Amino acid sequence: MGILIGEGIKNSLHIRDPISNQTLTLYFRIPTPEERAGYAIAQFERTGKEVKLRTTEARQEYGLKILEGFLEGTFEKTDGDGRRVPAFSSDQASPVYVANWKELALKHGAHLIEFLAVYVFDGTRAVSEQEFSEKN
């Protein structure tokens, strides 16, 4: 199988989150060539002869740009009876949808946004000969 392209395509990334110890799902789009270049440039800030690393900031900024949403329940809170319920949603059809869901996702899950950026912008994975043979 190849890369699925087209309008409205959401790719999914399943992350084993070290904080919740749960597998969480993020939805993202493929970055544009301009975003790929911008991500690489944003990791460094030059002031005169001084160069500052801005890796974390670049990961957060560009991770948010490609983030299309997340599986409802990724962010939870407890209700009045102590039950865990979704805190907010990225799905407009959800009763817990909020328009600023990206801001809240960054506030409460910056590590997830950063991991998404690393995976999409920096990530590569070589496959073994056996894996290649099994797929082709």
Q: Per DSSP, which regions of the chain are E strands?
A: 11-16, 23-28, 44-47, 50-53, 67-70, 76-78, 84-86
Report the alpha-carbon distance of residue 62 to residue 133 in Å, rounded. 34
Give strand pairing partners of 89. 97
Residue pLDDT, tens place only, 1-21: 677 788 878 899 999 999 999
Which residues fall within 8 angstroms of residue 100, CB to CB, at 6 or more apart? none
Question: What is the number of alpha carbons within 13 Å of residue 99 lying toward its C-beta?
Answer: 0
pLDDT single digits (tens) 118-133:
999 998 666 666 666 6
pTM of the entire predicted model: 0.86
CA distance 69 to 105: 9
- Tens digits of residue pLDDT in 35-56: 999 999 999 999 999 999 999 9
3-class DSSP assignment, residue 71: coil
How high is the pLDDT of residue 66? Answer: 96
